[in-house]
Structure formats: C-alpha cells, structure tokens
Amino acid sequence: MNMEVLNDNDLVSQIKQIPDRMAFKIGDVAKIAGIKTHVLRYWESEFEVLTPKKSDHNQRMYSRKDVETVLIIKKLLYKDRFSIEGAREALRKLKAEIRKDKPMREIIKSHTKVRRKAEALIEELKKLKIKLQV
C-alpha cells in the first residue's frame, strides 16, 4: 500500500468538487462524502488522523484536509474493502510516504503557512468586529 491509493479518478474527482471553504459542519461533510453523520462520528473514534475542531458552540468543524481524509477513508473502506485496522494502517503508511516526499512536504508546508496567516487574519477581523459593535 503506497500513494497508489490516491491514484483513483473517482477520489480525485470528489476531492476537486469539495467547496472552497475554510470549515465544514458535520452535515456538510456527510453530504459531500455521501455518508451519514453517525458514520463520521464513528470514524473520528477509529482514525486518529480525523480530528475536527470544535466551534465556540461545540459543533464539529472540519477543515478541507479533514474532508479529504474522510473521502480517502471512505474509498479504503467501501471501494478497496479494507477493514478498519487495514485502513488505519494504510493511512499511516500514506502519511509516512508523504513525509518522505520532499516536494509534497514543501507543498504541505506552504499550505500550512497560508492557513496560519488566514487564521490570524480571521482572528483580527473578529477583534475588529467586536470593537465596532461597542
């Protein structure tokens, strides 16, 4: 099992169709992936790589990376017929291969920097909004 898991036209197509948003609620992710919300909650307990943040209102907020991970898990379980443990191991190996791949690491590093800058900007906007409301 290597990066070949990502060489799937259906998976690539689904990933390309993810809306360009910073956060997704559990219902949005369920709709995108074509699964039920209770399945997502179960996968969160089984796959340590799937860890959505909680909003101020205690709602699960999935990042784009989380949504992509959900689609990969779905492929591994439903299309490739892996067991939960097999899918967990496949994800671990995939993550290790991505770490070894320098160009991929650079892309991820760049994406992380952009995400952090965007998050900082959002925090600044929230502070300004609060000041303007007073």
Q: Per-residue pLDDT tens for 18-48?
A: 998 989 999 999 999 999 999 999 999 999 9
Give the residue with greater pLDDT, 12 vs 103: 12
Query: Which pLDDT belongs to residue 1?
Result: 47
According to the model, what pLDDT value does residue 133 have?
Answer: 84
Distance CA 52, CA 50 (A): 6
* Average pLDDT, integer, range 101-120: 78
Quick one: CA torsion of 34, 93, 86, 18, rounded to 10 degrees? 0
Could you report the per-residue pLDDT of 37-82, keeping only the tens digit for each?
999 999 999 999 999 999 899 999 999 999 999 999 999 999 999 9
User: What is the model's pLDDT at position 131?
Assistant: 86
Tell me the C-alpha distance between 122 and 130, whole Å. 12
